[in-house]
Chains A and B, each alone.
Chain A
Amino acid sequence: MSLIGYAARRLGLAAFVVWAAFTTTFAILYLLPSDPILTMLNRGGEGANVDPAAAAALRAEYGFDKPVIVQYLTRLGAALRGDLGRSMQNGQPVVTTIVDALPQTAVLAATALAIAVVVSSLLASAAVLTGSRGLRHALLSLPPLGAAIPSFWLGLVLLQVFSFRLGWFPATGNTGWQSLVLPAVTLAVPTAAVLTQVLAKSLGSTWEQPFVETARAKGLPRSTVHLRHVVRNGAIPTLTMVAIIIGNTLAGAVVTETVFSRVGVGRLTQSAVMSQDIPLVQGVVVLSAIVFVVVNLAADLVYPVVDPRIARVPATV
């Protein structure tokens, strides 16, 4: 298969995932409830007084008076032109609303990921390298604990201690690096918990590989063996998970931004669901699918660099 053919196939697959995410959310959001217009007018309340005229007008505006397949194709066509409809809350286009909020969330997620990667590498390496069984058990019991803590609770506890009691960091807001610390730590904990578990397992099993014995038989110190031979091999399995981990970090931003009252895509999503702003919710889901495929494509490019056994283009196979 040629390089172009391979690239085309990968891109086709990526487009398929985004399309499927769009279609799935369309099915969930527009087909599941009895009447999306009533849902929108009600905004989740009990309200019985829906003006029939207003409902009809809205119905026509959103095209809900047309057959489902027409609605779907219309929306898909618009989506292909970069138009995901207008938010129910403020009437702004969904795409610009999301794009405006994205940088804040990206900074938060990137900081959290950086913290998680550093912490999990150190923890996993220490757990694998230590000769003390007790220390290893202690280190390896941290990630399950981290994964068991509800992140909204962790955020609140951090607020209590570091904002209200100690006053080190502001409790809310988006200004300055100080406002980033607590949310990033909150968001990093579940990610670091997952990463540490995966890394410790794969570093541990790499240490059992026969080539490690070859390296040790050369007289290399354990630390050199770890850095030069084990880490790269052990990191390969985590690469397959990177898209899922980044996706979950973004989803975690929903909770974190809500707890810390930060502006961002997460908070936007929280309020969109709260007011059943269907177009905006769909926009966020499609965004998450796009992030997923982009990260996966990037991982595909990195793979052959990290692991020479994977040819950049599978020759004839």
Chain B
Amino acid sequence: MTDLALLAPAATEPVVATAPVPPRRRSRRLAPGLVLALVVLALVLGWAVLPSVFAPADPTQVVAADRLLAPGPGHVFGTDQLGRDIYTRVVHGAAISLSATALAVLIGLVVGSLVGLLSGFVGGRFDDVVMRLVDVLLAIPGLLLAMAIVTALGFGTLKVALAVGISAVAAFARLIRADVVRVRGSAYVEAARVSGVRWWTTLHRHVLPNSLGPVLVLAALELGSAVLAVSALSFLGYGAPPPAPEWGSLISDGRNFLATAWWLTTMPGLVVIAVVLAANRLSRALDREGRTR
């Protein structure tokens, strides 16, 4: 009889009662918001990889007759002062904007994770010194740090991406380190140690897998902020030189026609917002997934 009683569900006092519950199977159905986010991300990824499939026209083609047309059939996002189709320019700009973003996130992720992992796992004096440095970097607002790096490196999409990536290193390092320290101090890691498990086995079997979730969450979140940072820097004029249809400079180009042609700034801006929202939604989904497991 005893073991039957044992198989009754776990204790979750204080108040939420758990009468016998059927074995929990998490539903695989995705929330509609998440589906939309994934569609948006897949679409812009498609733009970046195969722009001519989505917009066969030439993004730099000047059609004098079609100057400053409002959005409508033929030109869903309208045209600019030279008669270029804005939708086409946005699609062809995706490759520049997204590769810069991806590079920035990659730099932040790889360098930051390594620093954080090492700092958290080695601990002691080393940890103190590294974390002090990270604190200093965090004391300088990210945008300002990126601007300082751009000043030193010079202008261009690649350099902007580098700058945004480097300025994200500290945040990644801090998060990974906190998580490594949390996992390292957990009872199950100590239990592994008591069982005689070597430290590097503990690292790759317990610490890494359990710290991976938060890293992915942050990476997705950082994707959104990197899109914003990259486009902000190119809006300020530090990105690719003029004819390139980078998203931030598209918005910047429209400034001179604010009073007459709202679509020049509004349309590319909406695309940026959609991408950031989608990345954040994905981050939230990953976070929830990680916590329910």
Q: List residues of A whose CB falls within 8 A of some B CB.
A: 16-17, 20-21, 24-25, 28-29, 32-33, 39, 44, 144-145, 147-153, 156-157, 159-160, 164, 243-244, 247-248, 250-252, 254-255, 258-259, 269-270, 272-274, 276-278, 281-282, 284-285, 288-289, 292-293
Contacts and interface: CB of A to CB of B under 8 A. Distances in A.
* Binding site secondary structure of chain A: helix
B222 to A, nearest CB: 13
B216 interface: no
Given A17-B136, A259-B255, 4 more contacts: A145-B277, A148-B273, A152-B252, A255-B235
Task: Please provide the 10 A-B residue pairs with the shortest distance between their CB atoms, ordered closest to farther.
Answer: A251-B141, A153-B269, A148-B276, A20-B136, A164-B259, A32-B152, A251-B143, A292-B139, A247-B141, A148-B277
Given A148-B276, A150-B272, A164-B258, A252 B143 contact: yes
13 contacts: A21-B136, A24-B140, A148-B277, A150-B276, A164-B259, A247-B140, A248-B141, A250-B141, A251-B143, A252-B143, A254-B143, A274-B237, A292-B140
Interface string B203-247: 000000000000000000000100010011001111000000000
Contacts of A272: 151
Interface string B140-163: 111111011111111100000000
A275 B231 CA distance: 19
Contacts of B237: 274
Nearest to A254: B143
B153 A33 contact: yes
A21 B148 contact: no
Contact of B147 (A17, A147, A151, A254): A254
Contacts of B266: 153, 157, 160
B236 A282 contact: no
Contacts of A243: 139
A282 B145 CA distance: 10
Contact of A24 (B137, B153, B251, B255): B137
A148 to B, nearest CB: 4
